[in-house]
């Protein structure tokens, strides 16, 4: 079945440094890749997404890259701030077919002041 692998499971960086989280997916028909930020006990919040016809997308300090050939995508956060500390999830789906969203295992990011 579909599977999404996410690494690392925990990531600790100093404020101002960059953070990179990587995901691989198994379903070659996946074409929609969102990233969510979840704070403890709260709902996941969509922070950025990318579709398979695009290789990179940027929104201020956040960027996502996609390599369809290798079936992996990455989240890049630059100039990290303590409020970036949370659990981040990648996900994949066959978006244009109304497909279900499969999540990675999550990365707990800690940004130290």
Partner 1 sequence: GAVVSQHPSWVICKSGTSVKIECRSLDFQATTMFWYRQFPKQSLMLMATSNEGSKATYEQGVEKDKFLINHASLTLSTLTVTSAHPEDSSFYICSARRVATNEKLFFGSGTQLSVL
Residues constituting the chain: 113
Tell which one of 23, 93, 109, 111 touches partner 1 (CB under 8 A).
Answer: 93
Task: Tell me the closest approach of the beta carbon of residue 88 to partner 1, in angstroms.
Answer: 11
Angstrom distance (rounded) from CA 86 to CA 77: 12
Q: Residue 95 corresponds to which tokens in the numbers above?
A: 């978006």
Closest CA to 83 of 4, 15, 8: 15
Task: Tell me the closest approach of the beta carbon of residue 79 to partner 1, in angstroms.
Answer: 25
- Where on the chain is the footprint of partner 1 (CB under 8 A)? 1, 32, 34, 41-46, 49, 51, 89, 93, 95-106, 108
């Amino acid at each position: 079945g579909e599977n999404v692998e996410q690494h690392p499971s925990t990531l600790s960086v100093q404020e101002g440094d960059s953070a990179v989280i990587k995901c691989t997916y198994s379903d070659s028909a996946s074409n929609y890749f969102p990233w969510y930020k979840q704070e403890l006990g709260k709902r996941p919040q969509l922070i950025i997404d990318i579709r398979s016809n695009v290789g990179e997308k940027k929104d201020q300090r956040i960027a996502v890259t996609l390599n369809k050939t290798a079936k992996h995508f990455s989240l890049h956060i630059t100039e990290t701030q303590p409020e970036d500390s949370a659990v981040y999830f990648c996900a994949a789906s066959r978006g244009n077919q109304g497909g279900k969203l499969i999540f990675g295992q999550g990365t707990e990011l800690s940004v130290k002041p």
